[in-house]
Every structure is written in C-alpha cells, then in structure tokens.
Structure 1
C-alpha cells in the first residue's frame, strides 16, 4: 500500500436512497472514486441468487430475472436509462414487470420499528416479504442458494457500505477502516445509531456522522473560498427525504449550523404517487375498472408517472401512455406541468413551511440568506425552484455543486480533517453542528419534559434535577423521547431504563440528577444519578427495542465476513471458468484452422467434449478442479501441436 497523505486514509460515504457515492482526499483535492464499472455512483442495491450475492450495478442489472430476491431503495431512470428504453424497449419489459410489484425504500425503514404506521404503509409496496423480527425490528426475507434467509435493514445497508469500502480499497490500494458517513439531517437518534451499526457490520469505523446538507455546504464552501461571512441555506429534496439547513460559513473554514428542519418521509416518490392516484381515478372514470387491485398494472403506471414527472421538469406537458394496461385496455392521458403542480402543491407548501420553521429556529430573516443551494434530484422541479425564487424575493438559486456527488465530497473533506490531513484548507475546517430534534423524558401526566431543545449545538451535555412523585418511592422509570410534541407518547421513544435504590423519603424530597449527553455523531447517552447515594445508571441508544445489541452486531460482522469470502470464492470460480471456456474456444479455432495434426485431432476433440460435458453439469467443486481441467487440456493440446 502506498504511503497515504496525512496518515491512515479515511473516506467519505454518501449512503444514498437510490445511489451511493464514495470519495477520498488525494493529491491535495477530493477524488470521487469510480466503481469497477467506471461509474462515479453505485446503485444502493443488493441481490441474492442461487449461486452468489451481487451488490451495486451487478444487482441492478439482474432485477428483471430475480425480482423477489433483489433489495434496493428505489429505482430511478437516468438519461442513459431513458435512451436505452427508447432504443431497446423490449429488453425492459421484464424490468417493467418487476417494477409493478413495488419498491423498497430502505432509508425510510432503517432505525424504524415494524409496528410504526409509516412502516406498515411502506411495506405494502414491497416485492418480497418483510416480517416482524425480534424487538419489533423489520426483517427482509429472501432466498439465497436455495435457502430462505432473513436480513435486518442494517445488514442490507451494511452490504452496500461494504461495497463502497471495497471500491475505495481498490482505488487506494490497501485496507480502509475509517469513514465519515452522511445521514439526513432530520434522522432521529435510532436512525443514526442504526446507520452506525450498519457501518460496523461492514467493517468500517465511523469517525464521524454528519448531516447530508451540512456535507453539501462543506462541498460548496471548499470550492467557493471567500472573505467574510456568508449565510448559506441548503435545500435538499431527494427521492425519499427532505432536509433544509442554515449554516454560517466564515470563508476560512468554519461551518456553523444554525438550524435544521425537514421530513424523513417526503420526497420525489410522494410526487410520483400523486400522479399515479390521478391516473387511477381517470382510468376508473373512463372504464369503471380499479387498477389498485392489479399490482403489475399499477407498477407499470408508476414507472410511466415517474418518467412523466421528469419530463415536466423541462417541458410544459407530456403524456402517460401504456399499452394493454388492464384487461386489454390501452391507457393514454395528457398531463400538464400545471396539473402536476396542482396535484403536489400540498407537498411543495410543506417544504416551504419547513423552510420558514428553519429560518425561525435560526433567528434569521430571509433577507439575511446570502446563498440558496439546491441539492437532490427533486429540486429540478420547476415549481420548487419558482417558489424558492419568489420566497427569497427574486434571489438567484445556486446550482453550481453536483447534486449527485456533493454530499460524498463534503464527507471526504471531513474525513481528511479527522484523519490528520495537514493541508491548510483542511486544517482550518471547523464544523459546529446541531441536534435536529428535541430530547427529553416523560414526566407525570405523559408530558414531554425537554432537556435538550432542537437545534442545540453539538456536542452538548445538559443536566436537570427531578424529584420523586410518591412517598417512599424506591425506583423510577426513565422514558427517553425525541420529538416536538407536548404529549410524550406522540414523540419517538428512544428507550427506557429503571433506576432503583432510592432511599425512602416523602414525595418530592429524593432528588435524581439526569444528564443528557450528545456526541459529535448526534448519538445520545442518558445517565440518571440518585443524588443522596451517588448510584447511577446509563443508557446509550445502541440496543434498545428494535435496535441491535453488541452480540447481534458481532454475529452479523462474522456473517458479513463469510459473505465476503463466499463472494471472493465465487469470483475466483467465475474467472477460472471463463479462462477454461476461453481456452476451449481457442482450441476449437485451432481445429478449424487445421492447426491440430490429424493424428491427434480425435484425442483433442474428445478432451474438449469431456470438459464441456463436465462444465454443463454445473457441479463445479472448486477453483483447483477447474484449473486442473484447463491444465489437462493444455497438456493434451501441447502434445498434439508439438
């Protein structure tokens, strides 16, 4: 391995909903690392077959023939994909059939509980089984090598992260352990810890987790050096999540997050669904038939509606057209940009309200915002851009950073900083982030008592005293919640623990000191202490209901290593088989060219036939056996030729 600038390398990873991206600092700049297909982004996609596991482009490319065992966040059509559809539409029929069975948005599931209403709604659209696992955890069920297997969402995400790690290692030329990973700004504590667990399973040490819009702001700040201070607003609207963040950048490397807001369940696919519903109603009016009962028809319609949405970003009208959509009926409907905007106005308005909330939390007037930076594919929607343009009184929007790579770019800058890079630009970087949601505990009457308000700068540590609520109370439950609602149960329960050993005393006399501490990654530790005795008990959001214990993570790390070895063995077998088949092909060409003497032709042909028959059985025991078969052929052919 080459000597790396600044010591041991650390990479930046954007674990995206649809595509992931990895970057590293090298040669005094950030390098976006291409994968083995030469692409700068990799599909967040994992597939299981009878013989192997595929991740990234390989997994995406086999979706049509293996839909029930392919797990990915969300398929989006690139311009290249659209060209292929136009040129080779028949090849995509199987893909459209698969898409009729729905989608899995892993980013919307990670860190969630199976019993949550939103989770139950999401899994209705999935093409494979999702079951309730231990501790209310969603688990994906697939068939791999003929056996049914269950995987947590963290495990699936870890496979994508492991792929990004592998891509980086191929570029760097050695092992990579340390990484900065990005998450949506509005991820709660459980979602952040679940992402960190996924990284651990992948063999990565998370030196820092940063918010996606913050990473994008770093990318902007590094590429746009300026004197003085700038207030920058990052408007990040992707396929499944929405974040808005306000930062102050001082021009010499200090990035101070003032406030964040957003919705982890709002994005491009919600806009698609509004068009789908509109088409379903139109079809029902015209033909008195309900498309929602036919998954294939509904899925084909979803693909067509997403394509229509993309066209409406640069054209004023388009058509949703599908042959033989249901019961032999062809469907065709024009949709204008104005109609699309009308259908989704409630979502667009919600985005602007989140923006207003973020400004209020930052105590900043909109006129004080110097730059509005667009990140995420859904910001290409014209109405979103017009609403932002009008909201900021005609201010030009910044579209200069690459929306697909900016987040990984910023993460890699932070990674370089944390791994000891001494370049002046990196050395001067200081990031002051905030916690996105309020943190507190339940008190009497199911009320939420906030200990750390949202948008508090992190890392932070806050302590509050509480008293007993009953005479001679010997123990109490500490229920830790995250959210903005007054009633505790309307917020997200992060976890609970009991502290006992409180000395007998009248109500209100015994004092408990509760300490809430958030680290650089936004992960919370709560400690409760009986003041009179000094007895303490702590909780870190790592193994709560629906999360993974250290023992489970250790087991998954071993399973991931086993998968990696199996993948490597399969690759070796595939390469050995290819080499053998290539040699057979060459021998056949030699026979055609009469390069094999007639007296030896029979022996060579017999050896070829035996080898091809052996290959056709599929019972390939090992790489060594394949290589021996090739050696035998080589020996026979050498005897014949020489």
Structure 2
C-alpha cells in the first residue's frame, strides 16, 4: 500500500484535510460530506464523543459540554491575560492544573473529567484521521500540519505531541501564510522574481507574511501577526453589542446563563456571515428574555463595521508593521493574497485594497481551504509515494529576528549567534570562558531582537550549566550551541569542554506572537537607535575591560599570596569592580577615569610580579 502523506489545516474554528495525488489537489470530505470540519468536541452525558458539526448541534442542549477553540488554550499558562479574556465567553469550565496550564472540565456519566488542550487536540485529530482513512480506503499515518506563524515553541510541541498520540508522524509543521502562498504559486505559473503578501485572517488567529519566489524557491521574508485576533474576536464585538442592548433596553443579563451565551454567540456569528453578502440582517431571539416572547435586533453592514472598527484597523496596523520590518515598499508587492474565512468581510477587503492604493486582491474561491491545499502540496514534496510526485518548490523559512545571548551579567551587551534572515533549519555555536575563579555555574540568558543592549530585546529563556570545575580566569571553556529546526523550535545546549558535562533545554522561542508591539517594531526600533546603540557598545567595551582588569589583579594577588601585602590594592580593585558593575552608558567618563586609576595603581606591581591573564589595552574590544 502506498505511503500517502496528507495535509491538515488544524484551525481554530474549522479544520480541513487535503491531499495531492495524481497531479490533483483534493479536499477530503468528512463523514457528513462537509469539506471543512468544525473544530468542535461534544462530550455527551452518556459517555460518547461527538465531533464537528454533529457535536456543535448537540451542544445547543448542553453548552457546558461543547468544547471549541482549543487552539486558544494550547501552550498557554492559565493566568495568561489573553486566555483569561477568552474564558469570559466560553460556556465550558476551564481550571488550572498544578503547573498552571489550563484544563477543560466536563461531566460525563456523573463523573467530572479534566482534559488538557493536548488531549482535546488528539481527539479532534483522531476524528480527522478516521474520516481520511474512510475516504481514501487505506491507513494514513503521515501528515503535514499547519500552525499560525506566531505559534511559540510550546504551542508547536503540543501540536506535535497531540498528532503523535492520534497516530500521525508529522513530517513538518508548516506556517499557515506560507501554506497559502504555496497554494497560490502552484496555481499560478510565475517564473520571474515575484513578491507576495499573505493576509491570513482566520477564526482565531491572524498572520501577515511577505514572501518572495525566485525560480523554484519560496522564501519567507518577514512575518507578523496576532494569535488572539480572528473571526472569534469579531463575533465577540457583536456579542458585546447585543449584550448591551439586552441589558439597557430589556433589563436582561444573558451572561448569567450558559445556554443563552452559546445561542447568542451562534446568532452573532451567523449575522456576521450574512452581512458579508447582504447589507442588512435581523438577530431574533424567541422566549429568551422574561416577559418578551420575541426580540428582534436589526443590524446593518455599516453598524457592524462601526462595531468591529478597532479590530479591523488593528489588522491593518499589523500589516503595516510587517511591510516596514521587511523593508519592502507597497509598490514592490506584486500580489496580495487573502486567505482565512474572515477575509470574506467586505470591510476587510476594502481596507487592505485601500492600503495598497486600490490594488486588486487575490481572493481564493474557498479561503477556508487554501491553507490545507498548501499543506497537501508540502506533504507531496516530502512523500516517497510515486502517486504524489510533484515538481518540488523549495520552501525557505527564515529567522525573523536575531537570536543571541547576554555577553556578561553586568554589561548587558547582546552577542548575536543567529542573525535575522538566516534560513531554517540553522545552528550556531560560540565558546565562552570564565571571568572569575570561583565560577561553577555558566548561565546564558537568551534574547531575540536587534538592539545591542539586551534589555531592549525580548528575553526568551535561560540555560544554566552547573557543577563546572573551578579554574583561573579565562581558563575554563563552555560551548553554547543554538539550533532552530524546520518547525521553528529552538534548542540550546551548553557543554563544558574539559569533561562531558552537558545541559540541553528547549527555549520558549516565539517564531511570532509579538503582540506586545515592542517586538513587532524591533527592526524599526534598532534602525532609529543606531547612534545610541553605538554609544552603548563603546561604553560596554570600557566597562568590560575595567571589570576583567580588576578580576585579573585580584586573582594574581591571591595566586601569588600577595593579598596581605597589598591589601589596600586588593580592596581597591574589589570596590572598583563592584562600582563598575553598576555603571551605565551615561557614566562613560567615570569608567575611563577608573580605568586610568587602576592602571596607575597596578601597572608597576603587574610588571614586577609578572601577573598573567591581565587584559591588554586592545583586549576590551575583542572581549565585548
């Protein structure tokens, strides 16, 4: 039997399965004939599980057992502000695990169960696997699964583990906008260098990506986005609008009833969809509000656009930042590609077109399916099955922002190991030496960003190598290696060269998820602060030199048993080192003065006793 590989778009609202076979891309229908499957799980009171549209319909009668939008829970801490915001609108119960991860609580057969987002993902993926195998009439164990470009390493790893538990071997996690671009380029024979921008607004996440095709290579130039912005949030805007009307005009608070909350959300979602094709709709409630048999709320497209205006504008702000970070002008974008169901909204289309000065947009016939089609194409590229042979278009993903470590604890300088724009997968190593004699732990603070001062960049994580043997200053070596795989997962490894002492950790590297604005603006921030960064690194060179000079003198006085004889000098160096650790850029003059004073007091003794490991005047440049 042929070893087929399928593509899966595991969406917040809907999921879709596709396959490329015999030179044709085909969307695989589920058991009810649907081309997309709602990412919905319903736990029936008698112990059964209903998936997709069937589960969504059953949840009307018991909304607290209908679980949806698991993608908003995956890989997040329970106290994450974005997660807490989502919980306000969920009819089902979510609690915290002992490790502060969210657990969905449902009741079946009078027993309350707690399910992790990973377990829920597994249930959904098992259902998709079952539909696929029934359709293809064979076992399918391999897949390419799409994820938001802004999924962090925890979210990606949860996806991989859930797929493994469902019986899949995942050959690649493919970023959603990249998948859409792949589907576009497959359908359009473009030989010359071509740049496109993918605007991917789905049910729960939003991605923007700038890509460039050269011959058969597609390279990701830049990504931006928000993992908490999508059709769900637009529905929430409408929902809050309806809540206000019911409270102010009818004296009724629907948030107190889970059944009413679910009914209202469904009606708001339907109203949003209707207003994409008609100018006016009605939201009708029967028997929901006491003393009112029927309530009808009229809603025009103009009203809807005003209600959701801030969210619409937010998407354009992210789009603008992505282009600025890519350093590519609007005029240099050959094609603007819309994908994701929420791009059906006319106002979204108008805002994007207006941003590109009236440019005609490329709209997929089925924007809900194009990401799955791209995943199927990537799956065919990775497949060994002859029926899936495809002229390979190489996908080249890149590191969006530079990755590095803090140079020293007190100098805060950024040492870049992997530069922005490096193609994935990639790795880089750097050898570090001890500064002080009694160092038995090497800790590396890992950052993402372009500023030379690490405090201006985004902290990703820490790796600490303990139980390191003591050695004189500059005599102990530790090699730090950073590796980013094809799925955007960053692994850090620290190894002591003298013996087999190694520590490996997976760092919470965010391939995206820079919704805090500072990270989205990091390239612009670096460009605007080149002068201050230059001043900072010059100061760091002096500061690092001063600290190392003091450490070297103290070490030699101890080593040569001269501490008692030159106690005053030893204490001077100790105090100077401590003072130097607190100095900032504005203290450059003071730092230079301390360097000169150290030299004046120490140089004769250094020469007389032939002190070793004292930095030379030019060493501070290399050290920094």
Conserved in 1, the CA contact under 8 Å of 2:490 and 2:506? yes
The offset of 1:151, in angstroms, is 1.6
Q: Which residue of 352, 369, 375 maps to 2:339? A: 375
- Structure 1 counterpart of 2:150: 186
The offset of 1:446, in angstroms, is 12
Aligned pairs for 1:469-508 (under 5 A) are 472-478=438-444, 480=446, 496-504=462-470
TM-aligned CA distance change 1:532 to 1:407, over 3 Å: same
Are 2:243 and 1:247 equivalent residues in the alignment? no
TM-aligned CA distance change 1:310 to 1:24, over 3 Å: closer
Rounded to whole Å, the distance in 2 between the matches of 1:496 and 1:343 is 43
Query: For this pair of structures, how many residues does the alignment match?
Result: 504
Rounded to whole Å, the distance in 1 between the matches of 2:259 and 2:41 is 22
- Structure 2 counterpart of 1:636: none
Q: Quick check: 348-357 or 332-341, which moved more?
A: 332-341
- Structure 1 counterpart of 2:21: 26
Per-residue CA distance 1:175-205 (angstroms, 9 max, x = gap):
2221111001111111111111111111111
Per-residue CA distance 1:268-300 (angstroms, 9 max, x = gap):
121222223233334444355555445444444
Rounded to whole Å, the distance in 1 between the matches of 2:182 and 2:83 is 33
Question: What RMSD over aligned residues (CA atoms) do the two structures have, in Å?
Answer: 3.2
Aligned pairs for 1:157-176 (under 5 A) are 157-176=121-140
Per-residue CA distance 1:126-157 (angstroms, 9 max, x = gap):
22322222422211222345533222101111
**Which ranges in structure 2 are unaligned for 5 or more consecutive residues?**
509-624
The offset of 1:26, in angstroms, is 1.8
Are 2:49 and 1:53 equivalent residues in the alignment? yes
Are 2:279 and 1:305 equivalent residues in the alignment? no
SS in 1 for 2:397: strand
Rounded to whole Å, the distance in 2 between the matches of 1:490 and 1:361 is 15
Conserved in 2, the CA contact under 8 Å of 1:260 and 1:455? no
The offset of 1:212, in angstroms, is 0.8
Q: Which residue of 345, 355, 358 maps to 1:391? A: 355
Are 2:329 and 1:365 equivalent residues in the alignment? yes
SS in 2 for 1:64: coil
Aligned pairs for 1:10-159 (under 5 A) are 10-49=5-44, 50-72=46-68, 105-159=69-123
Are 2:141 and 1:177 equivalent residues in the alignment? yes
Q: Quick check: 403-412 or 344-353, which moved more?
A: 344-353
Conserved in 2, the CA contact under 8 Å of 1:361 and 1:455? no
TM-aligned CA distance change 1:298 to 1:22, over 3 Å: closer
The offset of 1:114, in angstroms, is 1.4
Rounded to whole Å, the distance in 2 between the matches of 1:159 and 1:220 is 31
Rounded to whole Å, the distance in 2 between the matches of 1:484 and 1:274 is 36
Rounded to whole Å, the distance in 2 between the matches of 1:286 and 1:439 is 55
Rounded to whole Å, the distance in 1 between the matches of 2:502 and 2:339 is 45
Rounded to whole Å, the distance in 2 between the matches of 1:249 and 1:215 is 13
- Structure 1 counterpart of 2:243: 280
Are 2:515 and 1:519 equivalent residues in the alignment? no
- Structure 2 counterpart of 1:552: none
TM-aligned CA distance change 1:259 to 1:284, over 3 Å: same
Conserved in 2, the CA contact under 8 Å of 1:185 and 1:213? yes
Are 2:456 and 1:461 equivalent residues in the alignment? no
Rounded to whole Å, the distance in 2 between the matches of 1:154 and 1:424 is 30
Conserved in 2, the CA contact under 8 Å of 1:237 and 1:377? yes
- Structure 1 counterpart of 2:303: 339
Conserved in 2, the CA contact under 8 Å of 1:261 and 1:355? yes
Aligned pairs for 1:194-593 (under 5 A) are 194-250=158-214, 252-287=215-250, 290-329=253-292, 331-420=295-384, 426-435=390-399, 439=403, 444=409, 449=414, 451-452=417-418, 456-464=422-430, 472-478=438-444, 480=446, 496-504=462-470, 512-531=478-497, 535-540=501-506
Q: Quick check: 190-199 or 57-66, which moved more?
A: 57-66
Rounded to whole Å, the distance in 1 between the matches of 2:168 and 2:455 is 35
The offset of 1:483, in angstroms, is 8.0
The offset of 1:423, in angstroms, is 8.2
SS in 2 for 1:161: helix
The offset of 1:365, in angstroms, is 0.7
Q: Quick check: 388-397 or 137-146, which moved more?
A: 137-146
TM-score (norm 2): 0.73
Q: Quick check: 352-361 or 46-55, which moved more?
A: 46-55
Rounded to whole Å, the distance in 2 between the matches of 1:20 and 1:292 is 28
SS in 1 for 2:308: helix
Conserved in 1, the CA contact under 8 Å of 2:4 and 2:385? no
TM-aligned CA distance change 1:440 to 1:62, over 3 Å: farther
The offset of 1:230, in angstroms, is 1.6
Q: Quick check: 212-221 or 54-63, which moved more?
A: 54-63
Conserved in 1, the CA contact under 8 Å of 2:480 and 2:495? yes
Rounded to whole Å, the distance in 1 between the matches of 2:470 and 2:243 is 66
Per-residue CA distance 1:162-181 (angstroms, 9 max, x = gap):
12222222233332221111
Conserved in 2, the CA contact under 8 Å of 1:240 and 1:266? yes
Conserved in 1, the CA contact under 8 Å of 2:63 and 2:262? no
TM-aligned CA distance change 1:183 to 1:487, over 3 Å: same
TM-score (norm 1): 0.71
The offset of 1:382, in angstroms, is 1.4
SS in 1 for 2:384: coil
TM-aligned CA distance change 1:45 to 1:292, over 3 Å: closer
Rounded to whole Å, the distance in 1 between the matches of 2:43 and 2:446 is 38
Per-residue CA distance 1:100-140 (angstroms, 9 max, x = gap):
xxxxx211111111121222222233223222224222112
